A = this chain, B = another copy of it.
Amino acid sequence: MQDILTYGDDRLLKELKRAEKPAYVCTIASSDTGAIEGISIAGASAEMRRYTPPADMEALFYGEAKCIPGVAATPDGIPSPVIIAMASLRAAGFPIFVVDAGSEVSPQTPYFRLGSTPGRSLVTGNAVEDVEGLFERGQHLGHHLAKLADYLVLGESVPAGTTTALAVMLALGMDAEDKVSSSMIGGAHALKYSTVLQGFGAAGIGKGTLARDPLEAVRCVGDPMQAAVAGIATAASRSIPVMLAGGTQMAAVAAVIDRLGQADMGNICIGTTRWVREDADADLVGLAEQAGCPRVYAADLDFGESRFQGLHPYEAGLVKEGVGAGGMAVAALVRTEITAAELVASVEDVYEATVVPMLKS
């Protein structure tokens, strides 16, 4: 498969190529963890991060957000990876289904509601409301979607999602410290780790103490997306392949799924970007192995030669992944004749249509 970096066997890539009716499902949520100063740059400010998940979904449906102008961006104006997802979805022609697991701001798109309560900050040690309900409704949705689709790509948009991922993986006893990716250079590992320790203290848990109770780990220190996507993937994996589209956030989801023991892990893989796969400040492959999901496919995108300076920061290690960008890019590369260079050119077209007008205004 050209322009895809493969770790583990490529069986699920071949099934993706053969799939007749694949679908893209993107789950959004917000949490007060995302409001912690310095923890995320998924949005122009802590206040604006509330709009990033719905803005991403609106951009997927309408070509630009409705709740904010253009598309979500970092404080420095680097655009959300939604532009990669948009270009990939256009190339691959997948149907899109939005799932709200608990977003503070609802998207102005059609969406599945699985939950309506945003996550609390993980420092409370009591982060997610009705975690069993989210998982159960996710299972129902996955079961019914898998009767129609023959392959699911599951993305997410959750600010501060790598911090809740770190917390859950540590609670499960994984060797995850300093291994999660970040939208920031260097990874903000110290802030993330101290935040997690605060949450552990509040919940009265420690590293590995919830190894056998993954939903309790999500309830204490995770986010609503994790429970919903775990449910969708668990049910769907019993009949069709599932690609968890994201970076180290999806390693945490994979670990939850694996520890719950109700899924067919042989039908689950992770799809991401080269920027996460090769992140020297993280270890996605190692986390995926520990999560019982030893298949990682990364789209070999390169923005270094882009005609837009605004895309170059991706090569410096900013943003990297989100909104299922890497997984959908993998899907587009597998299912069409498009090359990575051509996909980058399509991303540039989206940039020109959505981001350039914002810069001019």
Q: How many residues of A contact B (CB 8 A)?
A: 26
Contact A111 B110 (CB under 8 A): no
Task: Produce 1/0 per residue, A106-141, CB < 8 A to B.
Answer: 100111111000000000000000000000011011
Indicate if the CB atoms of B110 and A140 lie closer than 8 Å: yes
- In angstroms, how far is the closest chain B Cβ from the Cβ of A125? 27
Q: Is the CB of B112 within 8 A of A111?
A: yes
B110, A21: Cβ atoms under 8 Å? no
**B21 lies within 8 A of A97 (CB):** no
Q: Which residue of B lies closest to A113 (CB)?
A: B113
Q: Does A212 belong to the interface (CB within 8 Å)?
A: no
Residues of B within 8 A of A148 (CB): 21, 23, 95, 148-149
Q: Are B110 and A141 neighbours in the complex by a CB distance under 8 Å?
A: yes
Residues of B with C-beta under 8 A to A143: 95
A14 neighbours in B (Cβ, 8 Å):
none
What are the residues of chain B within 8 A of A61 when measuring CB–CB?
140
In the assembled complex, the Cα of A109 lies from the Cα of B112 at a distance in Å of 10
- Most B CB within 10 A of own CB, among A97, A100, A114, A147: A147
Chain B residues within an 8 Å CB radius of A141 = 110
CB-nearest residue of chain B relative to A137? B110
| A144 in the interface (beta carbon within 8 A) | yes
Taking the nearest CB of chain B, how far is it from the CB of A62, in angstroms? 9
Q: Chain copies in the assembly? A: 2
Q: Does A96 contact B (CB under 8 A)?
A: yes
CB pair B110–A113 under 8 Å, yes or no, is yes
Contact, CB under 8 Å: B144 / A95:
yes
Tell me whether A113 and B114 are in contact in the complex, defined as CB-CB below 8 angstroms, given that A95-B147, A97-B144, A148-B148 are known contacts: no
CB-defined contacts of A106 to chain B, threshold 8 Å: 113
Residue of A93, A94, A143, A144 with most partner-chain B CB within 10 A: A144
- What is the CA–CA distance of A94 and B148 in the complex, to the nearest angstrom? 9
What is the CB-to-nearest-CB distance from A209 to chain B, in angstroms, rounded to a whole number? Answer: 31
Q: Is A105 at the interface (CB under 8 A from chain B)?
A: no
In the complex, are the beta carbons of A147 and B21 less than 8 A apart?
Answer: yes
Shortest Cβ gap from A214 to chain B (Å): 21
Nearest-Cβ distance from residue A259 to partner chain B, whole angstroms: 23
Residues from chain B with a CB closer than 8 A to the CB of A111 are: 112-113
Residues of B within 8 A of A137 (CB): 109-110
Question: Taking the complex as formed, is A145 at the interface, i.e. its CB lies under 8 A from any CB of chain B?
Answer: yes
Q: When the two chains form the complex, which single residue of B110, B140, B147 contacts A112, counting CB atoms closer than 8 Å?
A: B110
Taking CB atoms, residues of chain B closer than 8 Å to A144 are 95-97, 110
In the complex, what distance in Å separates the CA atom of A144 from the CA atom of B26? 13
| Residue of chain B at shortest CB distance from A138 | B110
Q: How far is the CA of A46 from the CA of B17 in the complex (A)?
A: 53
A-B residue pairs in contact (CB < 8 Å), sample of 22: A21-B21, A23-B148, A61-B140, A95-B143, A95-B145, A96-B144, A97-B144, A100-B113, A109-B137, A110-B112, A110-B113, A110-B137, A110-B138, A110-B140, A110-B141, A110-B144, A111-B112, A111-B113, A112-B112, A112-B113, A113-B113, A148-B148
Q: Give the B-binding residues of A (Cβ under 8 A).
A: 21, 23, 61, 93-97, 100, 106, 109-114, 137-138, 140-141, 143-145, 147-149
